[in-house]
Amino acid sequence: MRERAHPRGVGREGRSGPKGRAPCPPPSRGANPLSAHTLKDGVVVEEHHRTTHSRQLHTRCGRAIRVARFAPHELPAGMGRVVLDTLRAPYDDREVWASLTPGEARQLAGLLLSEAEAVESRTPGSEPHLAVVPLHGDACEVRVRGHALTIDQPVADGGQDTGPTPVELFVASVAACVAHYAGRYLDRHGLDRGALRVTADHTMAADRPARVAALTVDVDVPELPPAKARALEAVASHCTVKNTLEHPPAITVRLRDDGRAPRPAGGSAADADRPHR
């Protein structure tokens, strides 16, 4: 951690430029890498290496705005911070400012709300095993044990294609679980898992309800000894995710209402507002 005096004007994102300044400043050159800052006794503390889950918004005007969170586990509850940072460019004489389109503004707001929710939830015992928070449009962020995944819809289906769809993630989970079991088998038998390749394809059902009708996973291990092929296939075919699909668990969707006890959500409305993927 390094402490340094704050350059004049840095950290005042979001203010408009002086009178007469064009909406888009000239592109920056030679700017320093993005870094996160927080105040400590009136001095700016650089915390770039302590922030997590950094996400960037690249504006049409060429400005890169970074949104991250500073919430290390040793920090007392309620002291976490959302960090909003951007490059200081040569043309930023007295202040740093950004010009956003309405869509960029909504996207930035989504990122800020997402990080704020994550910082607030980081109290002992309060963070769920898995949480989904909206970002912008159809996009949302899935959080699992400190990891973050962006889920979206293709442009053709009304999304912005910033991540895979929920169905693609479902197919990927099957393929990844097969790959995990296959890789462990290769390790146990002293075989190179570096050449392992797993691919998957799926077909959607033509009728209702919306669902995956067929899923095929192909495992390719070049130069695999024939004597090991059948055993590898048997091991990979009994991975946890595939077992779960073949022995479906009870799934309950509950609606939480104003802090009261959750109640099961109905299924009829879900069919009426069903996403494409």
Q: In the CATH hierarchy, which fold is given to the domain comprising 166-246?
A: GMP Synthetase; Chain A, domain 3 (3.30.300)
Neighbours of 118 (CB within 10 A): 22
Confidence class for position 160, pLDDT limits 50, 70, 90: very high
Q: What tens digit of pLDDT does each residue of 165-187 get? A: 999 999 999 999 999 999 999 99
Q: What is the pLDDT of residue 9?
A: 38
The answer to whether residue 150 scores a pLDDT higher than 70 is yes
User: Which residue ranges make up each domain of the chain?
Assistant: 2-120, 166-246
Q: Which helix (H) or strand (E) holds 19?
A: none
Report whether 49 contacts 83 (CB < 8 A).
no
258 or 30, which is more confident? 258
Instruction: State which H helix or E strand residue 52 sits in.
Output: strand 52-58
pLDDT of residue 44: 37
Give the model's confidence band at 46: pLDDT under 50 very low, under 70 low, under 90 confident, else very high: very low
Residue 269 is encoded by which pair of tokens?
A: 């409305």
Per the structure block, which two tokens stand in for 259?
A: 């802090």
| Bridge partner list, 81 | 70
| C-alpha 260 chain-centroid distance | 29
Higher pLDDT, 32 or 137: 137
Q: Which residue has the higher pLDDT, 201 or 31?
A: 201
Q: Tell me: the pLDDT tens digits for 50-102?
A: 555 667 888 888 888 888 877 666 666 667 788 888 887 777 777 887 888 88
* CB 225, CB 215: distance < 8 Å: no
Q: Which residue has the tokens 């963070």?
A: 127
Which position has the token pair 């490059």? 87
Cα–Cα nearest to 148, from 79, 241, 51: 51
